[in-house]
Structure 1
Amino acid sequence: MVYLVLYQRDYCHLCDQAMGVLAQARAPDFDSVWVDDSAELAERYGTRVPVLRDLRDGRELDWPFDEAAVRTFIERQSAEG
């Protein structure tokens, strides 16, 4: 089950960078959701994107984040779960 979602926008260079950071951190599989496809998501995330969200507990990691922050974010749930 995929439990991570990366909220992003089309043509977003920061979102591209976030994808690279997730690869460096060897993050598990995640879904990409484009906030521009939904008025509700666009309002909620606006200029915050990219945002990594854990669907299991609702935690979010806002940009900017690095490899260490992503690993900590993922490991926190693993340790608690």
Structure 2
Amino acid sequence: MHVTFYWQDNCPLCDEAEMMMKLAQEDYPFTWTSVDIQTDDDIHEKYMLMVPVLEKDGEVLLYGNIGYIDLVDLFEK
């Protein structure tokens, strides 16, 4: 599975989510593309109150406080 990870600087939840994704990646085969929402005005407006956000094919899978268990639940569906 490949997802898009939306994040921004100075976002502790984004840092935590990325660490949890790296941890989950050891058990589940998935990859991601990182997108800094501050580099695109439309994306920034769309996700500024939701980051971090995991999206696949235009569908938001997870956002906000993303923990390891959230990722496990997502990948075991």
- What interval of TM-score do these two structures reach, taking the shorter chain for normalisation? 0.7 to 0.9
Correspondence for 1:51: 53
Aligned to 1:29: 31
Q: TM-score, normalised by structure 1?
A: 0.78
Gap regions ≥5 residues in structure 1: 77-81
Match of 1:69 in 2: 70
User: Residue 65 of structure 1: CA displacement?
Assistant: 1.9
The amino acid that maps onto 1:47 is L
Which 10-residue stretch deviates more, 7-16 or 41-50? 7-16
RMSD of aligned C-alpha atoms? Answer: 1.8
- Offset at 1:53? 1.0
- Displacement of 1:68 in angstroms is 1.2
Give the aligned length.
74
1:34-78 deviations in Å (ceiling 9; x for gaps): 1111111011001210011122x62420121211111111222xx
The one-letter amino acid of 1:16's match is D
TM-score of the two chains, using structure 2 as the length reference: 0.81
Deviating runs (4+, > 4 A) in structure 1?
none
